[in-house]
Structure 1
Amino acid sequence: MRLIFTLQKAIYNITAILIVANSVLVYGSVGFISENPSSGAVIGATVATKWGEMTVRTMKHTPGGTPTYGSRSVGYMGLTMYESIVWGTPKKKSMVGQVSGLENLPVPNSLYKYNWILSLNAGQSYLLKQLYSQTSAINKASIDSLEKVIYQSEIGSTSQEIAERSVKFGQEIAKAIYEWSKTDGGFEGYKRNFDSTYQVPVGNGFWKAPKKGQSPVELPLHPYWGKNRTFAPANGVLPVPEIIPFDYHKDSPYYAQMYEVFAKRNTLTQEEKEIANWWGDDPSQTFSPPGHSYNLATITIKTAKPDLFTAAETYARVGMAVADAFINCWKCKYTYHAERPFLFIYYNLSRTWNLFWPEPPFPAFYSGHAGQAAAAASVLTDLYGGAFKFIDDSHVGRPKDEWRSVEYKARRFNSFWEAALESANSRLYGGIHTCQDNEVGLKEGKKIGQNINALSWRK
């Protein structure tokens, strides 16, 4: 069986390489990109989305992925994409001196010309392989293939001198950001996903590692992630929100929250089951919640067709917002160590109640799904408006969930906030979060996204 799986995975990745090659080559030579949203700029944005797709593909097919490390990765990938080309437009401003601890980056020589697509291309390839150095050789080959195909599609319209200068600049940006990333507290976090020394408080209302959860080990995931450096300085000083205190009495607000989860599980509609599955984003099976948000950035760019520079800004804002959302969420989770509904329901309501999904290996309050979805919705709304219609096809093609009788069908939304609310509600439908978890997550995520928006993006 292992050999069959390995062969299937190899075939998948080889196919991915061919798809990448075909999809980029069809556009031919892109050349220099201006700020104006011309046809050339749209093609440049397509190159950006190819790297967005490659990023989430790498996340999905690298074992041991977590939502925490994944959020960090998209934060740095998005920022690097933006910084590798920001000097190519007179309208946008670098994040140097604005995001936490980033005091300097390489600057292009104003006397020379650059091909910004080649800069972006080189930077994305370098950083993705550094952030996922643990990924398979086949995945690395896919990354190299995409970089080579884009390079070859550009070299016909660019002199060798400009090409070499552009590639070098993109790599220098990526290297500088990678070195800076080593000081944020989450460097190589995949090597220490679980902490056997961390002491979870014991008593009523406190979280306990699930016996049959998503993780094969009964330990907390990244308990110190909340201490990591945020991208937006303002997000690093947000206060921890208040929580409804534990109370097992039937007339208490706490009991009411838990009872709502219990009752909803027993009355799920087919539509609610489909929503639960769509936003499940189990890191062992998908590109995880931050990958889903990063993919929504790709979908947005494909739908709106902005220029290259706006596309890069979209990835930067979404990536950093999602990264900061997970830091703040984890700070909250390991401040309160709040139990998930299953334990309370088991001891106070029903010994036969069953979860829709296995439990995640970390405390409940507040919902990471809600927080990061709201952060992403906040930045995307600021960029593209409050009535932006799009189709989320992130999970189309996944096999039908036979046990729950759910197929993965594309979902349509009239706004980014509509999608964020659905993502939050999915956790109630799945039985692993209360409405309090979701509502606070949405509120905190909005603050986090607004702080990313408040950075000076325009000159």
Structure 2
Amino acid sequence: MFQINRCFYKITFVSLLGPLIFISCRTDSENKALQPNDVAIEWAKMTLFITKNTPSNSPTFASRAFGYIGVTMYECVVNGYENHNSLQGQLNGLTTLPIPKNTKEYNWVLALNAGQSYILKNIYVQTSEKNIKQIDSLENVILKQFSNGIPEKVVSNSITYGKEVAKAIFEWSKNDGGHRGYLKNFDKTMVHSNVPGSWKPPLFAQSFSHHPLHPHWGENRTFVKENSNIPDPDYLPYDTISGSPYYQQFYDVYKKEGELTQSEKEAAIWWGDDPDVSFTPPGHSYYIATLAAESSNSDLITVAKAYAHTGMAVADAFIQCWKWKYSFFTERPNTFVPKYIDEEWESFWPDPPFPSFPSGHAIQAAAAAKVLEKNYGTNFKFTDRAHEGRARDDVRDTDFKIRSFNSFWEAAQETADSRFWGGIHTHLDNQVGLEKGTVIAQNINKLNWKK
């Protein structure tokens, strides 16, 4: 379908630390040029790179970014496939999108290429000039390869269309409540609830802030309207009496910390995904979607659809999770255990700067797993190398060991369990997170994706 230059650019990524672009002039039999589905994958890798290397990022803001970037990828190509439907009119507030003209010819890879560049640079407008150059470089490499042998008018039509779609989606994003959310990570005017069992800033924490992260994020617009109407979960009544259900939740965390296996410690640090050193927890789900895309060798529309699924899943999961976190405003083990069980206790992993219930790791991992199952099946084996090569965590005397899984759900379950092993979430936090994440994914899967 596409004519390829004998001399082409090969794009690879090394441990997601940064893109390395090599120029190769070997014969076609020695090197394989990028295929259309590869272009979607390379843009996903670039998105993960920008997420990791942009300051003032957070799991909340990153989840939103993956949502809009994934939808843009899908919408830039969907009109090239007669058996797939646009999400226009299906998503919350997305009423109109540019429609390709029947009188014009388009190259959908070039449309995707232009659209991803536009949306990534606008969603992450705060990223560095160096990162902008990386984005531009990837766009130009793909443009050169896929415009070869194609009429200039088709190239121009495709680029214009891709940018128009991305611009329309970016404009839609501006009124969702999270636009430029990195400028208001912590609300210093917020008055903390001080009832028994309420969240308090911990001493053993990931952040120096005594104000919780994005307290108003749960007010944001969800991608799928049904996800904003999910019933609230139930929580346990506060009780400090030994043996009560509330007390037992925290006692289980305390007891587990004293008998952690090395494997559990490895999982606890693997899934930490702090924004200062990684592509964040929702980024880890987008990374797993990339592993699936690479392993499955699916066509362009399938890959783009899976990224849209995953992006919206993690985005809506964080909105709903944050709504419940600030509604219940619950304490973490590092508050309860030292006061009522063991005053010298500290969790294996430090506390994040926001309330506990339900688990954000669990809800987004479950949502991502269930939409990925919809796209790639329930028994998809993969190896997670996201943190391969990272320096040993000397504080916790633990190495970063690659993880292998027999299914997406197995990875989601370990993601949730890792927060219990880390001592920062109770079983109930994780259980509710997994349950609600599944519901969020089901609502996304129910969209009218195909004709």
Q: Where on the TM-score scale, by shorter chain, does this alignment land: which range? A: over 0.9
Are 1:76 and 1:319, in contact at CA under 8 Å, matched by a contact in 2? yes
1:80 matched residue in structure 2: 72
Matches of 2:26 and 2:379 in 1, distance apart? Answer: 33
- Displacement of 1:21 in angstroms is 5.1
Please list every run of 5 or more consecutive structure 2 residues that lacks an aligned counterpart in the other structure: 1-13
1:61 matched residue in structure 2: 53
Number of matched pairs: 436
1:16 is aligned to 2:18: yes
Matches of 2:99 and 2:414 in 1, distance apart? Answer: 42
Matches of 1:367 and 1:14 in 2, distance apart? Answer: 26
1:292 matched residue in structure 2: 284
- CA offsets 1:374-420 (integer angstroms, 9 cap, x no match): 00011011111111111111111211212222222221110110000
1:403 is aligned to 2:421: no
- Displacement of 1:220 in angstroms is 1.1
1:374 is aligned to 2:366: yes
1:7 matched residue in structure 2: none
| Percentage of matched positions with identical amino acids | 49
Are 1:13 and 1:142, in contact at CA under 8 Å, matched by a contact in 2? no
1:143 matched residue in structure 2: 135
1:230-249 paired onto structure 2 within 5 Å: 230-249=222-241
Give runs of ≥4 in structure 1 deviating > 6 Å. 12-15, 23-28
Please list every run of 5 or more consecutive structure 1 residues that lacks an aligned counterpart in the other structure: 1-11, 29-38
Are 1:25 and 1:149, in contact at CA under 8 Å, matched by a contact in 2? no
Once the two structures are overlaid, the 10-residue window that deviates more, 366-375 or 278-287, is: 278-287
How large is the RMSD of aligned CA atoms in angstroms?
Answer: 2.0
Task: Give the residue type in structure 1 aligned to 2:195.
Answer: G
1:53-452 paired onto structure 2 within 5 Å: 53-452=45-444
- Displacement of 1:22 in angstroms is 5.2
- Residues 222 and 346 of structure 1, relative CA distance in 2, 3 Å threshold: same
Matches of 1:23 and 1:193 in 2, distance apart? Answer: 44
Are 1:213 and 1:360, in contact at CA under 8 Å, matched by a contact in 2? yes
Task: Give the residue type in structure 2 aligned to 1:351.
Answer: E
Matches of 2:52 and 2:250 in 1, distance apart? Answer: 32
Are 2:15 and 2:388, in contact at CA under 8 Å, matched by a contact in 1? no
Are 1:24 and 1:47, in contact at CA under 8 Å, matched by a contact in 2? no
Are 2:371 and 2:445, in contact at CA under 8 Å, matched by a contact in 1? yes
- Displacement of 1:25 in angstroms is 11
TM-score (norm 1): 0.92
Q: State the secondary structure of the residue aligned to 1:401.
A: coil
- Residues 221 and 108 of structure 1, relative CA distance in 2, 3 Å threshold: same
- CA offsets 1:303-323 (integer angstroms, 9 cap, x no match): 111000000001000000100
- Displacement of 1:112 in angstroms is 1.9
Q: Greater helix percent: which structure? A: 1
- Displacement of 1:352 in angstroms is 1.2
TM-score (norm 2): 0.93
